[in-house]
């Protein structure tokens, strides 16, 4: 990543903010806005799979083209989404995929309520590492964490080395919802975060008359294809 990456000197400060800062996300009576301590979404996956770009696409509707600057430690952004007429505020943490920051990432897993686990469809190793990421998630994250698998960079159809069916098969094996995305074109990016927001809202609000939201069904709204020509 990233224009918004942290310098290492900033990391202790952020760690402190995050550890104490959860109070900032306690439910508050903002008009028409569902702000909760239970809306922390974390992006994980190998370095270079596009976590920062996915977040920037979602937050700002832009694509970070050009040279690739790896995330240092962890960074976060907030975004308010309107879900079924209710505003839901997500705090999204962008983690560093590089091995040397893994212990930093481990420290944050336990606070995450949702995880978006990414691989890059043009990078087989990033797909092969998904099982190791799942093992790590199992070890460090909350048992009931909302999890979604994303195959990113589908706009690069000519460089694709991981077939859609392989992503689907792996996701099915682990019972995890799956989508293919492109941070470059924007394909399915909003949809992925909306699915997470809906699930978190549903879990937190527990409205007795609201029909149960089914994340697995919702991801079927995914637009298939490379998304190469959308932007
Ligand atoms: N074609 C294409 N390139 C992408 C896409 N997403 C990211 N990239 C490129 O992939 C490279 C890495 O993107 P980042 O978002 O910085 O990757 P990251 O997962 O945050 O990497 P770390 O910070 O090291 O963990 C950059 O050169 C991006 O421009 C995408 O959807 N399509």
ipTM: 0.99
| Model pLDDT, residue 188 | 96
CATH code assigned at 168: 3.40.50.300
Q: Is residue 13 domain-resident?
A: no
pLDDT digits (tens, 9 = 90+) for 43-93: 999 999 999 999 999 999 999 877 788 888 888 899 999 888 888 899 999
| Long-range contacts of residues 86-89, Cβ cutoff 8 Å, at least 24 apart | 86/32, 86/33, 86/34, 86/201, 87/30, 87/32, 87/33, 87/34, 88/33, 88/34, 88/36, 88/39, 88/197, 88/200, 88/201, 89/25, 89/33, 89/34, 89/35, 89/36, 89/39
| Structural domain boundaries, residue 195 | 34-226
Q: Is 70 in the pocket of ligand 1 (CB under 6 A)?
A: yes
| Model pLDDT, residue 222 | 83
Q: Is residue 7 domain-resident?
A: no
27-36, 203-212, 215-224: least confident range: 27-36
20-29, 43-52, 143-152, 154-163: least confident range: 20-29
Q: Is the per-residue pLDDT at 178 higher than 60?
A: yes
The 10 Å Cβ neighbour count of residue 66 is 7
Q: Is residue 159 domain-resident?
A: yes
| Model pLDDT, residue 137 | 94
pLDDT digits (tens, 9 = 90+) for 1-54: 444 443 333 333 333 333 333 333 334 445 556 656 568 999 999 999 999 999
Angle at 57 between CA 45 and CA 167, to 5 degrees: 40
At a CB cut-off of 8 Å and minimum separation 6, what does 202 contact? 210, 212, 213
| Model pLDDT, residue 16 | 31
Ligand 1: centre distance to CA 24 (Å): 30
Mutation pick for ligand 1 pocket among 3, 7, 42, 53 (CB with most ligand atoms within 8 Å): 53
Q: Is residue 10 domain-resident?
A: no
């Amino acid at each position: 990543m990233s224009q918004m990456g942290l310098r290492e000197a900033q990391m202790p400060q952020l760690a402190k903010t995050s550890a104490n800062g959860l109070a900032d996300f306690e439910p508050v009576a903002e008009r028409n806005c569902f702000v909760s301590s239970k809306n922390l979404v974390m992006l994980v996956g190998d370095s270079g799979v596009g976590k920062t770009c996915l977040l920037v696409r979602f937050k700002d509707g832009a694509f970070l083209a050009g040279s690739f600057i790896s995330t240092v430690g962890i960074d976060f952004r907030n975004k308010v989404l309107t879900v079924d007429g209710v505003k839901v505020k997500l705090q999204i943490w962008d983690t560093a995929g590089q091995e040397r920051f893994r212990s930093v990432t481990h420290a944050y897993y336990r606070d995450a309520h949702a995880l978006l686990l990414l691989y890059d469809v043009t990078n087989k190793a990033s797909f092969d590492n998904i099982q190791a990421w799942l093992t790590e998630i199992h070890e460090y994250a909350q048992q009931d964490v909302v999890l979604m698998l994303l195959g990113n960079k589908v706009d690069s159809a000519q460089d694709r080395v991981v077939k859609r069916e392989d992503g689907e098969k792996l996701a099915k094996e682990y019972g995890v919802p799956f989508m293919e995305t492109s941070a470059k074109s924007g394909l399915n990016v909003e949809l992925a975060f909306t699915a997470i927001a809906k699930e978190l809202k549903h879990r937190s609000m527990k409205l007795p008359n609201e029909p149960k939201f089914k994340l697995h069904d919702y991801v079927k709204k995914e637009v298939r294809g490379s998304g190469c020509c959308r932007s």
